[in-house]
Amino acid sequence: MPKRKKQLHKISKLIGKCIAWFIAITFLWVLVYKWAPIPYTPLMGIRSLQGKAKVFKHDWVPIEKISPYLQLAVICSEDQKFLSHNGFDLQAIEKAIESNQKSRRIKGGSTISQQTAKNVFLWPHRSWIRKGFEVYFTFLIETLWSKERILEVYLNSIEMGSGVYGAQAASKYWFKKPANRLTRYEAAAIAAILPNPRKYRARPASNYIQRRKEWIVKQMRLYGVFKL
């Protein structure tokens, strides 16, 4: 075999091994998180290094201790097809692409599953590489986890204020009560700030957040009975 072909063979073999190890490690990583609480995420680490938040609050609680109102509020505000899709909402993605072509303001079409994959396993900055990994991890969690587990991890990991992560910490921070005692309107207020939780406040709510909150409450009533 010519020297050049031997080198290409070695390189392709090395790449194959790296891909196999990557798949094995990430599969086990996602499998462990199917049951284990997630105490810290890459997003939390990045925010801490940036040093912009004055506080750091994160308390993991099982989904049974998170108000059903908050569960429904985030679904109604972020991903109303959460229970029926396989991780991706193609219609929402198409609408986001059309909107982004017409406007400078970037809109996302990410589902709750995609947001969970990004927040727990990846970094927040937009790039095609990160988007590719996001698709991969979304596929894994949709395959290995239940919808209930995806929502549980989502509600315990996302930013719900500057330096505030997860439902329990947000509930105590904004409303001085545990997450299982949130009312419909309090849950809607937290869901209303999710597009930019470092900029908006759940309490006191600005006029914009108040309008979003009222829209979310209306969507919650229209959605009807919510059951995982």
Select from 56, 76, 74, 71 the least CA-distant residue to 115.
74
Residue 51: which region, alpha, beta or left (left: phi > 0; alpha: psi -120 to 50)?
left
Query: Running DSSP on this structure, what letter comes out for residue 206?
Result: P
The tokens describing 228, both together, are 């995982």
CA distance 79 to 204: 25
Number of structural domains found in the chain: 1
pLDDT, position 1: 52
Q: Which residue has the tokens 């108000």?
A: 67
Domain with residue 157: its CATH number is 1.10.3810.10
**What pLDDT is recorded for position 99?**
55
This model's pTM is above 0.75 = yes
Domain contains 165: yes
Q: Is residue 29 part of a domain?
A: no
Q: 194 by DSSP, 3-state: which?
A: coil
Instruction: Give the separation between CA 128 and CA 134, rounded to whole angstroms.
Output: 10
Q: Residue 126 and residue 130: Cα distance in Å, rounded?
A: 7
User: Each residue's pLDDT tens digit in the chain (228 positions)?
Assistant: 566 777 777 788 889 899 999 999 999 999 999 999 999 999 898 888 887 778 899 999 999 999 999 999 999 999 999 999 999 987 877 776 665 555 555 555 799 999 999 999 998 888 899 999 999 999 999 999 999 999 999 999 999 999 999 999 999 999 999 999 999 999 999 999 999 999 999 999 999 999 999 999 999 999 987 777
Measured CA to CA in angstroms, residue 49 lies from 63, 72, 112, 122, 132 at distances of 29, 33, 26, 15, 25
Residue 28 domain flag: no
Domain containing 147 equals 40-223
193 burial (CB, 10 Å; 0-12 / 13-18 / 19+) is: buried
Rounded distance, CA 153 to CA 40, Å?
11
